[in-house]
Structure 1
Amino acid sequence: MKINKWKMALLVWSAMFPFSTIISYGLAQFPFIAQWPLIARTFCLTCLLVPYMVCLALPFLTRRFQKWLQHEPHQPHTHPSISEQPVSAQTDEVQSETSHIVRQQYAL
């Protein structure tokens, strides 16, 4: 089943924003780090943020919210659409639906 991109983006943001805020605040408390150029502080932040997201936050959140990520309330779950069926099934279905039309044309 496909994962909704907007839901995954929301999960990523919900894990990344608090952690990056806390780490940025924590790094700013060290006087020597507060004097570093922005690019050095950002590098330090991302060195902590990426492993946290990949190893801890995202695996936990995707397991925890798996059903929500994959749930599509707008799609009925009863019968697959023609586009989801194999081509041979589509062909059989179209032939069965149109065979009576061909018979009616020859009967005229």
Structure 2
Amino acid sequence: MLDLNGDGHALTPRNARTRNLNFDPQGRNTMSWIVSLIIGGIVGWLASMVMKTDAQMGWIANVAVGVVGSMLGYWIAGLLGFAAVGGIARFIVAFGGAVLLIFILGKLGIFRKA
């Protein structure tokens, strides 16, 4: 085994548990996915309220728009050289991306204003 933690002991699942490290042998963190989906749903719902498409969108569409819109917002922010640091800045970038995604989908005829 490799000494990955620098103390002369191999980092194994047992050592990770005793050191209170989040060790997942497949490299996943389930809780972060759940939190991302919840925050994506909130961002998508708020964006749909602002864009007045809330009556047409269910919770699955809110989550999808929030998550995909967040990715769109972070991609555009990166192109503009803006690094969202801090919770409020990250929320604003995610919200802006979700609003932009709803705007684009509206222009494509997928969402209509209520």
Q: Please say whether Structure 1 and Structure 2 have the same fold, judged by a TM-score greater than 0.5.
A: no
TM-score by length of 2: 0.31
Higher relative contact order (CA 8 A, sep 6+): 1
Larger radius of gyration between Structure 1 and Structure 2: 1
Hey, which of these two has a bigger chunk of helix by percent?
1
